[in-house]
Amino acid sequence: MENITNVMEFEAIAREKLPKMVYDYYASGAEDQWTLQENRNAYSRILFRPRILVDVSKIDTTTTVLGYKISTPIMVAPTAMQKMAHPEGELAIARAASSARTIMTLSSWGTSSIEEVASAASGIKFFQLYVFKDRNIVEQLVRRAEKAGFKAIALTVDTPRLGRREADIKNRFALPPHLTLKNYEGLDSGSVRRSNDSGLATYVADQVDRSLNWKDVKWLQTITKLPILVKGVLTAEDARLSVQAGVAGIIVSNHGARQLDYVPATIMALEEVVRAAEGRIPVFVDGGIRRGTDVFKALALGASGVFIGRPVIFALAAGGEAGVKKAIGMLHDELELTMALSGCRSVTEITRAHVVAPWEAGSPRVAPRL
C-alpha cells in the first residue's frame, strides 16, 4: 500500500483480491448504473472560487455532529457484510474510525454484532437500521444499540424493495457460508442464501417492511431516545417532512446508486434539501466522494458532514485496518490542503461563495475528468 496516493487506487487492489461475486456486490449499482457514474461525475461540474492572501498557517478540520466533536467532517457510511472484504470486517473499520477520531456507522446487515463492534473500539458509533416486518426484531436491535453505547440511529428509508442489481443476479449473490448476519442470530429472520436471483433481493422481499411510512418514524421515536437520522432523502418535499417529523438530521443518499437508477447524483440533490431544511436540522451527504476536494464541495453546498462508503470497504479489502486508516487519512489531508488553497482556516469558513455549480447562470465550463 506504500505507493497508493489516493483512495481510488484501493479499488484495483480490492478487485484483484476479492472473489468476483464479492467485488461485484460492493462495486455495482442498479440497472444501467447511470446514477453510479453520475454520483462521481457530478463533482467535476462544481468548480472552486478560491480566496487568496488569507493566513492559512493553521487549518482546523474539527467539527461537531449531533453534539459530538470529531476531528474531521469525513465519517464512515454503513456498508453491509464487511467480513466478505476482510476477516476483521466491521471491527477493523470501527478501530480505524476511532483512531481517526471520527464516526463509524454500523450496518444492520453487519457480519459483526452490535456488541462486538462496541467492544472493538471506543469511538463514536451510529447504527443503521432497516425496518423489518417483525417489529419485535426492530425493537430488539434498537435496544441493543442503545445499551451498547451507539449515539444515533440512521434509518434507511429508500429500500421498500431492493433495487435491481444485475451483477448480483448474474452472480446469484449469497453471503458466504462461513459468515452470518450477526445481529439477527437467534431471531428467526432468515439468511442471505443462494437462490435463482440475488440472495439479498430474496431476503429483503421476505423480511423488510414495504409499508414503512412517516407514522413508523414516529413509532421509532417512541421506542428510543437516540437521535434519528433519515437516510435516503433526495427532495425538498421529503426534507420538509423530515423536519416536521422531528428527526435529528437528514442524510442525502441514493444508497450508493444501488436502488433507483436515474435519480440525481447526491451532490446535485444536496442544495435543494439543505434549503428546504432551513437550518433547522443538519444535512449530511454520501455517494461518489473520492477526494478531499469533493468533501469541500459538499460542505460548501451546505452539508454538515459526509459519509464515505466504497472507498472504506475497498481500503479494508486492500489492507485491513491499516488500509482504512490510510484512506480516511488521505481524504482528511486532501480536505485540509483544499481548505488552505481556498483560503479557509476552519470548516465554518467554507461557504457557498467558495464554489460555482452548473445550475448557476454563467457558470464556467465543466472540468475534465482525468
- For residues 239 and 273, give the distance between their C-alpha atoms in angstroms, rounded to a whole number: 6
Annotated binding-site residue? 172: no
- The predicted pLDDT at position 301 comes to 98
Query: Is it the case that residue 185 has pLDDT exceeding 90?
Result: no
Q: Which residue has the higher pLDDT, 319 or 197?
A: 319
Q: Please check the confidence at residue 1 and state whether its pLDDT lies above 80.
A: no
Average pLDDT over residues 315-324: 98
Q: Provide the pLDDT for residue 359.
A: 81
Please tell me whether residue 213 adopts helix, strand or coil conformation: coil
pLDDT higher at 1 or 151 = 151
Residue 323: phi, psi to the nearest 5? -65, -40
Would the annotation count 224 as a binding residue?
no
Residue 208 — very low, low, confident or very high, per pLDDT cuts 50/70/90? confident
- The pTM for the full model equals 0.94
Say what the pLDDT of residue 63 is.
98
Residue ranges with strand state E in the chain: 47-48, 63-65, 68-70, 74-76, 104-106, 125-129, 152-156, 228-233, 249-252, 283-286, 306-308, 355-356
Residue type, 344: C
10 forms beta bridges with none
Is residue 124's pLDDT more than 80? yes
Q: Is 253 annotated as a binding residue?
A: yes
CA–CA gap between residue 287 and residue 342 (Å, rounded): 23
Q: In this predicted structure, what is the pLDDT of residue 2?
A: 79
What pLDDT, on the 0 to 100 scale, is given for residue 358?
86
Q: What is the DSSP letter of 53?
A: S
Using the structure block, give the residue that is written with the C-alpha cell 428527526.
Answer: 247
Q: In whole numbers, what is the pLDDT of the chain averaged over residues?
A: 93
For the cut 60, the answer to whether the pLDDT of residue 199 exceeds it is no
Question: Span 150-159, mean pLDDT?
Answer: 97
Residue 26 and residue 313 in contact, taking contact as beta carbons nearer than 8 Å = yes
pLDDT at position 52 = 97
Tell whether 203 is in a known binding site.
no
Whether 187 shows a pLDDT value over 60: the answer reads yes
Closest of 73, 81, 80, 130 to residue 103, by C-alpha: 73
pLDDT of residue 120: 97
Residue 128 annotated as binding? yes
pLDDT at 105: 98
Amino acid at site 18: L
44 annotated to bind ligand = no
Among 67-81, 201-215, 244-258, 335-349, name the one with the lowest average pLDDT.
Answer: 201-215
Q: What is the pLDDT of residue 189?
A: 60
Do the annotations mark residue 255 as ligand-binding? yes
Q: Is 80 assigned to a binding site?
A: yes
What average pLDDT score do residues 240-262 get?
A: 98
Task: Evaluate whether 282 touches 242 at the Cβ level (below 8 Å).
Answer: no
Nearest to 370 by CA among 32, 2, 3, 44: 44
- Interval 117-126 mean pLDDT: 97
What confidence score (pLDDT) does residue 361 get? 57
- Please tell me the distance from the alpha carbon of residue 116 to that of residue 108, in angstroms, as a whole number: 13
Between 204 and 97, name the one with better pLDDT. Answer: 97
H or E element: which one contains 324? helix 310-342
Binding site annotation covers 290?
yes
Q: Assess whether pLDDT exceeds 80 at residue 363.
A: no
Residue 191 has what pLDDT?
A: 61
Summarize the confidence of residues 10-29 as an average pLDDT: 97
Per-residue pLDDT, 7: 98
More confident residue, 337 or 172: 337
C-alpha cell at 226: 437516540
165 is in an annotated binding site: yes
Please report, for residues 11, 271, 311, the alpha-carbon distance to residue 7 in angstroms, rounded to integers and kept in the order given. Answer: 8, 26, 6
pLDDT band at 195 (very low <50, low <70, confident <90, very high): low
- Give the number of other CB atoms < 10 A from CB of residue 359: 11
> Grid coordinates 425538498 are at which residue?
236
Residues classed as catalytic: 255
Q: What percent of the chain has pLDDT over 90?
A: 86
**pLDDT tens digits, 260-307:** 999 999 999 999 999 999 999 999 999 999 999 999 999 999 999 999
